[in-house]
Amino acid sequence: MALVEIRNVHKTFGKVEVLKGVSLDVEEGEIVTIIGRSGSGKSTLLRCINALESVDSGEIRVEGQKVHAKMPGLKKFRQRVGIVFQAFNLFPHLKVERNITLAPLLTGRIEKAKARALAEDVLTRVGLADKIDAWPEQLSGGQQQRVAIARCLAMAPHLMLFDEVTSALDPELVGEVLKVMEAMAKQGMTMILVTHEMGFARNVANRIVFMHQGRVWEQGPPARLFASPETPELASFIASAK
Amino acid sequence: MRSFSLIDFASLFIALRWTVALVVLALLFGAPLALGLAMGRISRFAGLRWTTAALIQVIQSVPLLGLLFFFYFGMPVFLGIQVPALVAVTVAYTLYTAAFLGEIWRGGLEAVKQAQWEAGACLGLSAWQQFHHIVAPQALRLSLPPTVGFLVQLIKGTSLASILGFVELARAGQVVSAATFQPLLTYALVAAIYFALCLPLTLWSRSLEARLDGSR
């Protein structure tokens, strides 16, 4: 059984059908990168996986459990599936430490006495141990995004979703975030990313999924997909992304 | 006629307790109600949004004086029982406070980005935890200046209770001025006391703003 099973998922916003029958399996430990043009449904699919959006038809299962916004145990489920956003979404009124420890403390994952150690641990993993007492706005975009990743890691998720996490960053800050993600990939974290970073998709992912017009248009290992795309749509997307 | 003495001075300060009592009562009942109205205004349920919006609209559109008269003369008629004036006045100030604070706080809540709720939800927090730990503290900081502004309005607004027989600060000023024939001195004193009451609030609000926003 795959960790994530997506079966014939449809999703409509108003009159626009964003997902038109998407099916996709992601195995444990896999790094899957979803690429495609704006409006192809990539981000929506990602948001459906952790029930930020509900699917109209079809189904998504994670660890065998059917996912939707009114599922039983939604809060527990979300603790197992981390998501990192384009806009970081750190809590600006809390210091870095509290940003990280708030959810583990409130959900009873850890005791108060161990909170700071947990924050130190996950911050070390993203290379920001020295920023534990900083305010979010004192950090650069790249650092904020790494704190957001650390905040997710503190929940010890089984699966991590990344929604264009480098798109809002200055070019010189992209690398530090990708490096953190690469390290997580090496440690065996299952990851699904929506990204425009073709280099990262090529070098780190096990599999590339090209979405086009709300469908999975083409997928396969990065080497083959980039070298010999089967569809003209992917070929033109690769050409334009260079 | 007698000259302005320490007794007159004292009577102003004694009257101050009604001013303070009315403010405390208005906040005690009005603030929780305001929070409820603010949450109703941003609720997912359209019915609740409309009801609270209508309620706020009506209360905000009626002069405070009108509210006071309405409940003072109206409650015995509608409820069929005689209620103490204090109850009627408390109801009027409570609704007044709830409507204005509710709308101020709604603005604060809405100014916090939707993504903040979402970020909390994605970490497995309940809707209440998202509100309590993430959105409300940010909304509070944004709402603080207008909240204190309203508080100052409320303090001065308690003077209207004098028409229903409450000898609060403004009414006491009238009495003292009539007894001493020193209106200028008396009302200057009354104004100074109001000022002394409101100034610390504004100062406190500024320091709280700075404290809630430690990063800046």
Which range (A225-229, B34-38, B46-50, B118-122) has the least confidence?
A225-229
Average pLDDT (B98-108) is 96
Which range (A78-87, A231-240, B5-14, B110-119) has the least confidence?
B5-14
In chain B, % of residues over pLDDT 90: 58
- Over residues B72-91, the pLDDT tens digits come to 888 888 878 788 888 889 99
Task: Please give the pLDDT value at position A169.
Answer: 85
Chain A residues with CB under 8 Å of B118 CB are: 52, 85, 89
pLDDT > 80? residue B92:
yes
* Segment (H or E) for A32: strand A31-35
Contact, A132 vs A115, CB < 8 A? no
Q: Which CATH number characterizes residue B87's domain?
A: 1.10.3720.10
pLDDT > 60? residue B58:
yes
Nearest to A89 among B116, B125, B214 (CB): B116
Min distance A79 CA to chain B CA atoms (Å): 5
pLDDT > 90? residue B206:
no
Q: List the single residue in B with minimal CA-CA distance to A161.
A: B122
Interface test with A, best of B44, B109, B122 (most A CBs within 10 A): B122
Residue showing tokens 């599922």 = A71
Q: What is the DSSP letter of B100?
A: H
Task: Single out the residue of B76, B72, B106 nearest to residue B90, CA to CA.
Answer: B72
pLDDT > 60? residue B96:
yes
Task: Single out the residue of A162, A163, A208, A155 nearest to residue A181, CA to CA.
Answer: A162
B24 pLDDT tier (thresholds 50, 70, 90): very high
Average pLDDT (A82-95) is 93
Separation between Cα atoms, residue A85 and residue B116, nearest integer Å: 11
Contact, A61 vs A236, CB < 8 A? no
Q: Where are the alpha helices (DSSP H) in chain A?
A: 42-49, 74-80, 96-106, 115-125, 141-153, 171-186, 198-204, 222-227, 232-241
Please give the radius of gyration of chain A, using alpha carbons only, rounded to the nearest integer.
18
CATH 3.40.50.300 fits A4-241, yes or no: yes
pLDDT > 70? residue B120:
yes
| Domain region containing B204 | 6-212
pLDDT > 80? residue B1:
no
A206 contact B CB<8A? no
Position B181 in a domain: yes
Residue showing tokens 């008396």 = B186
Contact, A76 vs B104, CB < 8 A? no
3-class SS at A38? coil
Min distance B48 CA to chain A CA atoms (Å): 21
**Own/partner long-range contacts of A175-183 (Cβ < 8 Å, ≥24 apart):** A176/A127, A176/A142, A176/A143, A176/A146, A177/A142, A177/A145, A177/A146, A177/A149, A178/A204, A180/A125, A180/A126, A180/A127, A180/A146, A180/A149, A181/A149, A183/A125
How far is C-alpha B190 from the chain's CA centre?
20
Chain A (142-171) residues lying within 8 Å, Cβ to Cβ, of chain B: 151-152, 155
Which range (A68-82, A185-199, B12-26, B71-85) has the least confidence?
B71-85
Nearest to B122 among A50, A93, A95 (CB): A50
Residue showing tokens 């409509």 = A12
Min distance B215 CA to chain A CA atoms (Å): 6
Separation between Cα atoms, residue A223 and residue A202, nearest integer Å: 7
Give the start-to-end residue ranges of the domains of chain A.
4-241
Task: Please give the pLDDT value at position B216.
Answer: 47
Average pLDDT (A220-228) is 90
pLDDT > 50? residue B139:
yes
A184 contact B CB<8A? no
B213 pLDDT tier (thresholds 50, 70, 90): low
Min distance B198 CA to chain A CA atoms (Å): 28
Q: List the single residue in B with minimal CA-CA distance to A96.
A: B215
| Interchain proximity B141–A93, CB inside 8 Å | yes
Task: Please give the pLDDT value at position A242.
Answer: 66
pLDDT > 50? residue A170:
yes
Contact, A230 vs A55, CB < 8 A? no
| Interchain proximity A91–B119, CB inside 8 Å | yes
Position B1 in a domain: no
- Over residues B28-44, the pLDDT tens digits come to 999 999 999 999 999 88
Contact, B42 vs B109, CB < 8 A? yes
Average pLDDT (A203-213) is 91
Task: Single out the residue of A158, A219, A165, A152 nearest to residue A187, CA to CA.
Answer: A158
pLDDT > 90? residue B48:
yes
pLDDT > 70? residue B215:
no
Separation between Cα atoms, residue A179 and residue B7, nearest integer Å: 78
Q: List the single residue in A with minimal CA-CA distance to B142.
A: A93
DSSP string for A156-181: --SEEEEESTTTTS-HHHHHHHHHHH
E runs forming strands in chain B: none
pLDDT > 90? residue B167:
no
Task: State how many domains chain B has.
Answer: 1
Backbone angles phi, psi at B44, to 5 degrees: -70, -25
pLDDT > 70? residue A149:
yes
| Interchain proximity B125–A93, CB inside 8 Å | no
- Tell me what the pLDDT averaged over chain B comes to: 89
Chain B residues with CB under 8 Å of A71 CB are: none
Min distance A78 CA to chain B CA atoms (Å): 5
| Interchain proximity B124–A85, CB inside 8 Å | no
